[in-house]
Amino acid sequence: MTTSPAIDVQGLSHRYDTELVLRDLSFVIERGEVFGFLGHNGAGKTTAVNILTTLITPSDGTALVCGHDVVAERHEVTRMIGYLPSEVRLYGHLTASENLEFFARLSGVERPRAAAQDALRYLECADLADRRVSTFSTGMRQRIGIAQAIVHRPEVLFLDEPTSGLDPIGVRQLRDTIGRLNEDLGMTVFMNTHLLSEVARVCTTIGVLDHGELIYKDSIAETLRRFPDERSLEDIYVRMDGRSS
Amino acid sequence: MIATIARHQVRSLVRQRTFVSLLGVFGVMTVLAGVLGWSSHHTIVRVYDQAVILLDGQGRPAPPNPFTLRPRLSLLSNMVVYVPLIGALLALVVGHLSVVDDQSGGVGRLVFSRGLDRRTYVVGKLAAAAFVLATVATMSTVISAASLLIVERTLAPSDLARLVAFFALSWLYLMVFASIGMVSGVASRLRSLGLLSALGAWLVITFVVPQFTSGLRPTASLNPITDPVSTSQSFFRATAKLRPLSIAEQYKQASAHLLQTATTHESAVRLLGHLVPIAGALVLLAAVLIDLVGRHDYSRSASDA
């Protein structure tokens, strides 16, 4: 029995009014990978995530998540994915537990209260369950944000700039969390980020987006083998980005 | 799923200070309507009693007690003013708060990445507003009934039915304003602009439109001096033909008949006729809301400004 890739994108393009923000994007991410999507501000990373999470309809091309088309099979796709946007606000007047229960219900989880408690326990923040989200620090909100993204145990987790606003300890905790979600629960992770050091530590594959075009995609191991003279991943990224411009 | 959205929204609303404060003001005003009715009743009856003693001393017959000639529900006539003023503001805030959290801060992105149908979302939000405003109307009915019982010692079933009908009508009227709050919240890029435009709509519906459709000389409210020269006022006679579309006037007329403060009698059919424009406005706003939410780009957050 063959299983479809976690993400299969072919000829994906998107324009906002007259501006083309994604150009003929094609790539495949296998299940169980942790994919780091790199690119400068405005490269089109968030637009790609918005399409893959069914929030916007692409202008052209196809995108499949776990074998389901993001346009034609939107409902099936949303059952397979978890999503954490770059700025996590949630409902500040409600407690962490109430927020998670709500999102669990939206995803059709049978026992939403238990699922919320499980997600909080898994992320080691059960002590935050009965506190209102408006009282949380950025790091706490980020953890609750991840909890809402995994409360229904999705197969693919989309994280858009998950480290923005976090202190070094928060970044390290997030890195550990992503690793555990991938190893323990087998989730495929698609992560938009600027932090190359995190990509090198967490991701198994990277892709580099430049002005809406995918200019590079390969495994971390192969990338480091292909560019042996480069000292760090950052040097490789700058070199690739420089080549394309 | 509608119940999930509605329950979540009600829970979120009751935790918000703006809503709770306005609810408190409306509750106080409802009590105040009863107190004012009782005070007016008490004062007039005391004056009447003294007049009766005086007339009796002069050997003249006393006229009947004026309150025995007035319908009991007329004691609550102030509610017809409080509902379009404080109640409508409360409803605008209910509508506004129902949608703005999803507009800003990326929460809408999370909600709609869950496969939620947008029409279901709108129906859930409207159901939440309907429930909250129905609770407010029920509480007001209880407070008003209690006020009448204190004053009159008794409340006839027909009066209770009229009171319930009045607050049911008020609920329908307030739902229009809750929908306006939602529509302006979804349509505005800025959070504060959404509430301001809803307030603008409330001002126009409550104060501006009735000035034209009532066929009155609009300047009369600013300068209550009779025109020295008679003018044709054909413009205002023309705008008066639009009276059926003025929902504030329709509400006031229907309320006056239900509370028996109107000077003329209307049949039940004509009374129902007042409901048509109010219900029509609600249906129209719900359709606009479904269209707006269906087209809204939730991948972009509205500004919190």
B237-258: pLDDT as tens digits = 777 777 778 899 889 888 888 8
Q: Does B2 touch chain A (CB under 8 A)?
A: no
pLDDT for B227: 53
The answer to whether the CB atoms of A81 and B110 lie below 8 A apart is no
Q: Which of A91, A98, A132 sits opposite B107 (nearest CB)?
A: A91
CB contacts of A98 in chain B (<8 Å) are 11
The predicted model gives A215-243 an average pLDDT of 74
* Higher per-residue confidence, B109 vs A35: A35
Q: What is the pLDDT of residues B156-170, one digit of tens each?
A: 888 889 889 999 999
Q: Does A103 touch chain B (CB under 8 A)?
A: yes
Nearest to B297 by CA among B101, B121, B109: B109
The answer to whether the CB atoms of B299 and A50 lie below 8 A apart is yes
H-helix or E-strand containing A202?
helix A196-202
The answer to whether the CB atoms of A78 and B113 lie below 8 A apart is yes
**Measured between alpha carbons, how far is B96 from B98 in angstroms, rounded to an integer?**
5
What is the DSSP-derived secondary structure letter of residue A229? Answer: T
The answer to whether the CB atoms of A106 and B114 lie below 8 A apart is yes
Beta strands A60-65 and A68-69 are antiparallel
Residue A12 near residue A58 (C-beta atoms within 8 A): yes
Q: Does B12 touch chain A (CB under 8 A)?
A: yes
pLDDT for B194: 87
pLDDT band at B123 (very low <50, low <70, confident <90, very high): very high
Nearest to A195 by CA among A7, A65, A45: A45
Selected residues 30-49 of chain A with any CB under 8 Å from a CB in chain B: 46
CB contacts of B304 in chain A (<8 Å) are none
Please state which of the ranges A195-209, B129-143, B154-168, B220-234 shows the lowest mean pLDDT: B220-234
Q: Does A13 touch chain B (CB under 8 A)?
A: no
- pLDDT of B223 > 60? The answer is no
Which CA distances in Å does A36 have to A157, A175, A199?
12, 12, 6
What residue of A is the nearest CA neighbor of B17? A93
CB contacts of B15 in chain A (<8 Å) are 93-94, 132
User: Any residues with CB less than 8 A from the CB of B226 and at least 6 apart, and which?
Assistant: none
Q: Does A94 touch chain B (CB under 8 A)?
A: yes
**Measured between alpha carbons, how far is B170 from B163 in angstroms, rounded to an integer?**
11
ipTM: 0.81
pLDDT band at B102 (very low <50, low <70, confident <90, very high): confident
The answer to whether the CB atoms of A78 and B114 lie below 8 A apart is yes
User: Any residues with CB less than 8 A from the CB of B98 and at least 6 apart, and which?
Assistant: B9, B13, B125, B128, B129, B178, B181, B182, B185
Q: Does B18 touch chain A (CB under 8 A)?
A: no
Q: What is the pLDDT of residues B255-279, one digit of tens each?
A: 888 888 776 777 777 778 889 999 9
Q: What is the largest CA-CA distance in chain A?
A: 53
What residue of B is the nearest CA neighbor of A107? B114
CB contacts of A88 in chain B (<8 Å) are 106
CB contacts of B101 in chain A (<8 Å) are 91-92
- pLDDT of B302 > 60? The answer is no
What does pTM read for this prediction?
0.84
CB contacts of B16 in chain A (<8 Å) are 93
Average pLDDT over all residues of chain B: 84
- pLDDT of A123 > 50? The answer is yes
What residue of B is the nearest CA neighbor of A104? B114
- pLDDT of B218 > 80? The answer is no
* Higher per-residue confidence, B151 vs B203: B203
- The amino acid at residue B49 is D
pLDDT band at B205 (very low <50, low <70, confident <90, very high): very high
CB contacts of A148 in chain B (<8 Å) are 110
- pLDDT of A243 > 80? The answer is no
Four-point Cα dihedral B232, B238, B243, B244, nearest 10: 150
- pLDDT of B305 > 70? The answer is no
The answer to whether the CB atoms of A93 and B12 lie below 8 A apart is yes
**Measured between alpha carbons, how far is B41 from B65 in angstroms, rounded to an integer?**
11
Q: Does B202 touch chain A (CB under 8 A)?
A: no
What residue of B is the nearest CA neighbor of A102? B8
Selected residues 233-272 of chain B with any CB under 8 Å from a CB in chain A: none
The answer to whether the CB atoms of B110 and A94 lie below 8 A apart is no
Report the alpha-carbon angle B180-B185-B188, nearest 5. 120
CB contacts of B301 in chain A (<8 Å) are 87
The predicted model gives A23-42 an average pLDDT of 91
pLDDT band at A104 (very low <50, low <70, confident <90, very high): very high
pLDDT band at A240 (very low <50, low <70, confident <90, very high): low
Q: Which of A56, A102, A134 to mutate to test the interface with B (most CBs of B within 10 A)?
A: A102
